[in-house]
Amino acid sequence: MKDRLFDALGRSRAGYTELRVRRIWSTSVLVRDRSVESASTASETGGVARCCSPGTGWGLAGFSGTERLDTPALQAHELSLAGASRQPVVLAPIPVREHDSAATIPDDPREVPLTEKRQQAESLAALLTACDRRIASTRVLCRDEVVETWLATSEGSWLHEVRAEVGAAVLAVAEEGGNVERALGSVRVRGGWQDGAPGSEALVERVAIRSVERLHATPVRSGRYTVVLDRGATGALVHRAVTHLARPSLPGADPDVLPLGMRIGPECVTVGDDPTALGLSASGVSDDEGTEGRRTIIIQNGVVVGHLHSRETAAAGKQAPTGHARAGSLRGAPYPRASNSFLAQGQGTLEDLLQGISLGIYLIDALACESSGDQIALRAGGARMIRHGRLAEPVKGVQITGGLLPLLGRVDAVAGDFAWDTSGARCRDGAAGVVAVTTGAPHLRLVDVAIGEGIS
Amino acid sequence: MIGRVLEAVSGRVAAADALVKTDDTLSLAISPDGETRVAASRTRNAYLRVLRDGRVGYSSGSGGDAEIPDLVGRAMTSAAAGEELDLFLPVPAPIPEVGTRSPQAAAADAAELDGLARTLLERLQRSNRRVETWAERSVGSVQVGNSRGVLVGYAVSMAGVGAVVESIGVGSAPPCSVFASGSDLPTLPEMEGLVAEVDRRLNPPIADLSSKPASRLPVCLAPRAVATFLRPLRAALTGHQALLGDSPLRGKLGEQVFDARLSVIDDPLAPGRPGSRPIDDDGVVSRRIALIDRGRVAGFLADLGVGARAMVPSTGHGWRTPNAPPRVGMTNLRVLPGPENRATLLTMMGKGILIEALEWGAGSNPISGTIALRAPWAYLVEGGRVRGRLEGVMLSGNVFEALKELGGVGSDATWIGAACLPSILLKEMSVHCER
């Protein structure tokens, strides 16, 4: 493949050409209640050629298969010359490097028979049903994926990488006396099935408990509260409220970038993104432009100090590339995207954060976190009231709404219990597509936060 | 290729069907600072389903001839672990005529797309706006065949133009997105319609509110807002959810559930729309399906798989997408128009809120129909006239409850992608206005 890619690059007439080929093998088993609904396999190969020349913009050509790699390279060059009133593309320099980490993966999911994966999914479904007699309906999806990537550029960079990951997604519907509630969750980890999907049994129990707990949870009363966010909810907030606004010039989304030097939170808030964190699903040796990833601090003690860059946005901002150019699809162009976003830990424990709160709300996980303009809405997966410094009865329908920056300004304590969250989160962002992301955070406390009306 | 795939499994399986989809997309975007990006993408996907020893197996791949043995091998492996299901594949049947391809759209090149995007850009440009426009066309083919003799192919094209317009320095509304799409290139009147819509959304000044509006008000949803509002209804009428799952409409076939002015159909035979097709991805012939008939639940959508599980015939709504099992989905959703034009609906509303577009936010539940939707494009209406734009509006309530008694249905049915929707006047909804 290396020779074929460089041969195609050699035929390109563009000033800069980049060729990426990716092959994705995947299997998925869906069990609805106790019945297997599908056990399917898929394999897709394709990629993208991207070109620019002095005085031209980008031209992109996506393709399926790998039969003729010079054709998309030539087409991308033609497209880079098409159109009118072009702005020339300038790329920040990166060291030319060669990297091959595609040796046999030790625990290859492709080696595990589909019948075994089916048994694994059926076991999880049985475990979920057995958790509580009130679990009326369940859905378990077990999925694995092996992705092999080849990347070559006309500057001489070469990358070949294989990565595998496995995961499970679980839905439980609980029913009692005509009252129906549901809960869901997921887990995704790098590697294979040797140890099952690590954390999947704990996930099943957590989802079952949450769906049953919601049967007796009362809708939250809207108002302003001191809130404590668990690691999952904190991570979702940090990803959406900070890292999304730390990416310059993303087409179709987030035109407002946090300006360098701006204070957006208290001293205890330090946020970054680390594509080099070991073993996480969004980690990698380099980004989709061949830039080595590096841990990037975005907010240091409450002040914006950095952005996540591709080569193009780095050149425009006179910064160094950070290795965050990620493609949102097989044939997509790379754009600056978050990978493993984190809130650095502070001090103390959850109990320390709860202490002194006479009436508040504890948010568990995030079902969704979305922003529009300068507003953000975070819908919690679960919640409990905090009464006199202790976790109390479950409540449902908890949703934080408010201005992005005012919300960060309400942070008043960060705990010292940092952990990465292995739920299978994905970030969808307009034309830039969908990428896997991970978040890491400790517990977080915010004061005087508006909690919306109950939606259950 | 279909023939070769089916030949490769012949004699080894009880039945099989295969599908090959190709697509060649060209897109062009002009950024607010004038940068043009041109991208092309060629895709080819093959899907195989086999029935072997009473079990169903699926595989998909990139569709090259060289990959046929791998595609077949994986489908066999999948069947060994797959669902036990009595799946009956369709036999050949007359195929309806439906327009799915325009030669002009198929032939459009980068220069033509540049012309479309630039025309729209020039028409939308104002001193206080940041405008980004795009134009796209795709051309492709769909071929479906099965071991019972079905072998059908059709050509498709799709073209669209759209814009994201941001008003600089006026409140905190998000960028305003509009688009028009169909199998042919957008016409000048269609683009003028987009320009008029953007002006209608951006031009009204922020409403001067001496007091916050009441919390429960009549609400008039414009077609683009209706598309978002009806998401729970779509889910409730479709697939496993409707026939076997926890849809609130399950088991209510024939019952009068909604206002008699509400009629909804799924229409794969509408000419030249994004969901138009003569046959579905399972090889079942397309036909119009009444879903809600004057308020009565009239039908649910199924593919072969869900149909077999629920023991009902497929309605021809099977879809296949890469790296996923087959799914049931709508083709073109149509809500039939009523007698009132927009001005009449606003007059009928008295004091209320007009919402041009809604955002499907974090607080909504597509199953129960409980919603909490942000409405960044909401307007205060008094005496039939728009008095100004409202900011920070949240619309909440239950979609199924709201559709039980409507204030009116507009005559302004408008195509928005694969949906043709009129304005709808809701008698009363919970409206929360932050500012």
Sheet of strand B333-335: strand arrangement: B296-297, B289-293, B264-266, B333-335, B419-421, B414-416
Domain of residue B424 covers 204-435
B143-152 pLDDT tens trace: 999 999 999 9
Q: Of the candidates A39, A60, A331, which has its C-beta nearest B81's C-beta?
A: A39
A67-86 pLDDT tens trace: 889 999 999 999 888 765 55
Give yes or no: residues B149 and B243 share one domain: no
Where does a domain end: B167, B184, B201?
A: B201
Domain ranges of chain A: 2-216, 219-451
A269-278, A328-337, B63-72: least confidently modelled range = B63-72
Give yes or no: residues B239 and B304 share one domain: yes
Is it the case that residue B364 has pLDDT exceeding 80? no
A343-347, B67-71, B266-270: least confidently modelled range = B67-71
State ipTM: 0.83
Q: Measured between CA atoms, how close is A437 to chain B, in angstroms? A: 18
**Which fold, A2-216?**
PmbA/TldD fold (3.30.2290)
A295-314 pLDDT tens trace: 999 999 999 999 999 999 89
B195-243 pLDDT tens trace: 999 998 888 877 776 666 668 899 999 999 999 999 999 999 999 989 9
A45: chain B residues, CB-CB within 8 Å: 62
Q: Which of B70, B83, B374 is the mutation pick for testing A, counting most A CBs within 10 A?
A: B83
CATH number of the domain bearing residue B90: 3.30.2290.10
A428: chain B residues, CB-CB within 8 Å: none
Residue A267: pLDDT band with limits 50, 70, 90 = very high
Q: What is the pLDDT of residue A454?
A: 43
Give me the half-sphere count of Cα atoms (radius 13 Å) on the Cβ side of residue A212: 15
Q: Of the candidates B36, B70, B132, which has its C-beta nearest A86's C-beta?
A: B36
Domain count, chain B: 2
B27-36 pLDDT tens trace: 999 888 777 8
Round to whole Å and give the CA distance between A14 and A2: 19
Give yes or no: residues B197 and B259 share one domain: no
Helix or strand run (H / E) with residue B194: helix B188-202
Contact B372, B399 (CB under 8 A): no
Work out the burial of residue B356: count CB atoms within 10 Å of its CB; fewer than 13 is exposed, 13-18 middle, 19 or more buried. buried
Is it the case that residue B105 has pLDDT exceeding 80? yes
Residue A182: pLDDT band with limits 50, 70, 90 = confident
A452: chain B residues, CB-CB within 8 Å: 363, 372, 394
Give yes or no: residues B50 and B197 share one domain: yes
B80: chain A residues, CB-CB within 8 Å: 114-115
Round to whole Å and give the CA distance between B267 and B286: 9
Give yes or no: residues B231 and B354 share one domain: yes
* Residues in A 183-212 with any Cβ partner in B closer than 8 A: none
Through-space distance between the first and last CA atoms of chain B, rounded to whole angstroms: 60
* Residues in B 343-382 with any Cβ partner in A closer than 8 A: 359, 361-365, 367-368, 370-372, 374, 376
Through-space distance between the first and last CA atoms of chain A, rounded to whole angstroms: 52
Contact A21, A147 (CB under 8 A): no
Q: What is the mean pLDDT of chain B?
A: 91
Helix (H, G, I), strand (E, B) or coil at B424: strand
Does A251 sit within 8 Å of B132, measured CB to CB? yes
Q: Of the candidates B42, B118, B396, which has its C-beta nearest A453's C-beta?
A: B396
B54: chain A residues, CB-CB within 8 Å: none
Does B35 sit within 8 Å of A57, measured CB to CB? yes
Give yes or no: residues B87 and B147 share one domain: yes
> Residue range B362-367: average pLDDT?
70
A64: chain B residues, CB-CB within 8 Å: 42-45, 62-64
Q: Of the candidates B63, B174, B364, which has its C-beta nearest A372's C-beta?
A: B174
Is it the case that residue A263 has pLDDT exceeding 60? yes
Give yes or no: residues B211 and B181 share one domain: no
Give yes or no: residues B392 and B412 share one domain: yes
Give yes or no: residues B155 and B248 share one domain: no
Q: What percent of chain A has pLDDT above 70? A: 96
Closest CA to A241 of B362, B434, B32, B164: B362
Give yes or no: residues B76 and B208 share one domain: no
pTM of the model: 0.88
Residue A268 CA, distance from chain mean position: 24
Residue A350: pLDDT band with limits 50, 70, 90 = very high
Q: CB under 8 Å to A10, separation ≥6 — which residues?
A: none
SS3 content of chain B, % helix, strand, coil (to 5): 20, 40, 40
**Residue B177: closest C-alpha in chain A:** A252
